[in-house]
Amino acid sequence: MVYVRQDKLPNLKQYKYSGVDHSLTSKYILKPFYTNVVIKCFPMSMAPNLITLTGFSFVVINLLTMLWYNPTLDQNCPPWVYYSWAAGLFLYQTFDAVDGSQARRTHQSGPLGELFDHGVDALNTSLEVLIFAASQNMGQGWKTVATLFASLLTFYVQTWDEYHTKTLTLGIVNGPVEGVLILVGVYALTGYMGGASFWQQSMLATLRVPQGPLPDLLYRLSFTEWYMVQGTFVLVFNTVESARNVIRARRARGDRSRYALVGLLPFFGTWALVVAYLWLQPNILHGHLVPFVLFAGVVNAYSVGQMITAHLVKLDFPYHNVLVLPLAWGVVDSLGPLLLEHAPFPWLGWPSALGDGVYQVAFMFSMLGLAVGVYGSFVVDVIVTICDYLDIWCLTIKHPYVEGKEDGKKKAN
């Protein structure tokens, strides 16, 4: 399948990265550390995308240790596991941050770098949800699903914002900087406290805050539940702010501002199906949530990848996602028996072709395999197309920068 038509490729040469980072932590702590220390550890011959991919490998290693020690997301791990998660995530953040600096100093900046960087970040989002759930002993249930929803929505909205405003905007407190550092601290503290069960205690009681007039329900909220409460407020605030950014940017260009909000419907439509499927199939929710989270993460990564590609080559906003179709079929198949049992008229229902046992589990894994295949073909096709057109390589530097050459001979990554 062709994802980028040849007549759109010349738009790649008009690409110019635009980003604003208002984070004080980034400005006064992280960037000086990256510029004066970290970037010097990488040779000039190392491609920026290879740095990005190497950083992602640390998260993959974290995922593998999670699957070995805590595949059900509700068991305590040895303390060193949590420390390794903290170190791996910090290394991922560091490598993800310095790839841009490497691109600039090797004169390899270009649209492929943004596509590759965002694609890796999109995949990392769902993997990190699983690791965080394991660090909190959330288990396989609705709390983990809610955390996944919030994380994927944040990334989707940020990409949707960038597509319309043409600028990646990070606030004073944002996920890629402070959010990641908080997670690093949580993982390290989990190891120090002896396990994830610590976070399931009542936060106020553990901190010896007197209950006073507080109702029992509020006073007994665990550390994890308080984290989810504050995360809800942050999610709503960031979503509203992104919507305002998009409306202002489109009005400044004379475009219809509110129509851009329709771009959020594909995400919420997909998640309506996700929630319906998990509600209709509790066996998947409580017994096989880890592979389903991976499936939902790839579905979101595919949507985000389409948006980034459309931004780079100036395509219309991508509203469709073919990976939603098997999920919709799963919902329809699971809904039939429920209607047969509870609908006032028997003809409103139909028997399930999959049931709720081994065939349903096989179907879920088939959806995961299909998602990986479709997303993989998308990634390969887009990367190969861009590399061929710009005469570059993805993970190595094809045309090293030489001081004194004409600008026209500089090759962009």
- 200 class by beta-carbon count within 10 Å (0-12 exposed, 13-18 middle, 19+ buried): middle
Rounded distance, CA 67 to CA 74, Å?
12
**By residue range, what is the domain housing residue 10?**
6-390
pLDDT at 267: 97
**Domain-located, residue 21:** yes
DSSP H or E stretch at residue 283: helix 282-287
- SS3 state of residue 373: helix
Residue owning tokens 């999670």: 66
**Domain-located, residue 308:** yes
pLDDT at 410: 44
DSSP H or E stretch at residue 85: helix 79-105
pLDDT at 408: 40
pLDDT at 18: 85
CATH number at residue 280: 1.20.120.1760
Strands (E), 85-188: 168-170
**Domain-located, residue 116:** yes
pLDDT at 409: 43
**Domain-located, residue 29:** yes
Token pair for residue 314?
Answer: 């100036």
Token pair for residue 257?
Answer: 């501002």
pLDDT at 344: 80
Q: What share of the chain is helix, strand, coil (3-state, %, to 5)?
A: 70, 0, 25
Catalytic: 164? no
Token pair for residue 16?
Answer: 């110019």
Q: Which amino acid is at 300?
A: N
Q: What is the pLDDT along the chain (413 residues), one digit of tens a residue?
A: 678 888 899 999 888 888 888 889 999 999 999 999 999 999 999 999 999 999 999 999 999 999 999 999 999 999 999 999 999 999 999 999 999 999 999 999 899 999 999 999 999 999 999 999 999 999 999 999 999 999 999 999 999 999 999 888 888 888 888 999 999 999 999 999 999 999 999 999 999 999 888 898 889 999 999 999 988 998 998 899 999 999 988 888 888 777 889 999 999 999 999 999 999 999 999 999 999 999 999 999 999 999 999 999 999 999 999 999 999 999 999 999 999 888 787 778 899 999 889 999 999 999 999 999 999 999 999 999 999 999 999 999 998 988 766 444 444 44
Question: Of 333, 327, 336, which Cα lies nearest the Cα of 270?
Answer: 327
Number of domains into which the chain is organized: 1
Residues with Cβ within 8 Å of residue 77, at least 6 apart in sequence: 65, 66, 69, 70, 134, 195, 196
Rounded distance, CA 24 to CA 11, Å?
34
**Domain-located, residue 96:** yes
From the candidates 118, 164, 311, 399, give the one annotated as an active-site residue.
Answer: 118
**Domain-located, residue 406:** no
Rounded distance, CA 48 to CA 106, Å?
9
**Domain-located, residue 397:** no
Token pair for residue 232?
Answer: 């809800």
**Domain-located, residue 410:** no
DSSP for 26-78, please give it. Answer: IIIIIHHHHHHTGGGGS-TTS-HHHHHHHHHHHHHHHHHHHHHH-TTS-S---
* CB 69, CB 78: distance < 8 Å: yes
Q: How far is CA 399 from the centre of its chain?
A: 32
Rounded distance, CA 254 to CA 245, Å?
14
